[in-house]
Homo-oligomer: A and B are copies of this chain.
Amino acid sequence: MNAPDPAFGSRVRESFARQAVMATIGAQLERVDAGRVDIRLPFRDDLTQQHGYFHAGVIATIADSACGYAALSLMPAGADVLSIEFKINMLSPATGDAIVARGEVIRAGRKVMVCRADVHSVTGAKEKLVAAMQGTMMVVSKGE
């Protein structure tokens, strides 16, 4: 996909650094390409639900940011991104060394972008699909 702002990478990294919750849970921004962003979250016991797996909301937190930043990477300079909504399916218990959310834009509109994210658990060299998101991001233009 084509990014209208060549500086999209630094713009995404700066915005990610301002999302305080990312540091709180220990999420790391990995790949930042035009229309594709990956976020990794190492396993931590204090982010779990009652069975010791990652809580669905924690999974949604990194998947939503992966979608949002995939969308932001395709927006013009000065624009910002807001989540309108998302839907996420939990496919398997999310455990292992870490989970990685891979967000991708499937439709880059002028006002609205639609994204999907697949979330995999990573245990050693093994990956397993644990969640799937589809969501809608709003382009917030400068001055709005």
- Which chain A residues have a beta carbon within 8 Å of chain B's beta carbons? 15-16, 18-21, 23-24, 45-51, 55-58, 60-65, 80, 82-92, 106-107, 109, 111-112, 114, 116, 129, 132, 134, 136, 138
Complex CA–CA separation, A86 to B90 (angstroms)? 9
- A83 and B90 within 8 A (CB): yes
- Of the candidates B21, B56, B112, the one whose C-beta lies within 8 Å of that of A49 is B21
Do most interface residues of chain A lie in helix, strand or loop, or is the interface mixed? mixed
Q: How far is the CB of A10 from chain B (nearest CB, A)?
A: 14
Given contacts A84-B89, A132-B134, contact A46 B65 (CB under 8 A): no
Decide: A111 and B114 in contact? CB cutoff 8 A.
Answer: no
Contact A21 B50 (CB under 8 A): no
Give min CB distance, A137 to chain B, whole Å: 10
Q: List 13 A-B contacts (CB under 8 A).
A: A15-B50, A16-B50, A24-B46, A57-B58, A57-B61, A57-B64, A61-B61, A84-B90, A84-B136, A85-B87, A85-B88, A91-B107, A116-B132
Given contacts A21-B49, A85-B87, 18 further A-B contacts (CB under 8 A): A18-B49, A21-B48, A21-B55, A24-B47, A55-B64, A57-B65, A58-B61, A60-B64, A84-B112, A85-B88, A85-B89, A87-B88, A87-B134, A89-B107, A91-B106, A91-B109, A112-B138, A136-B136
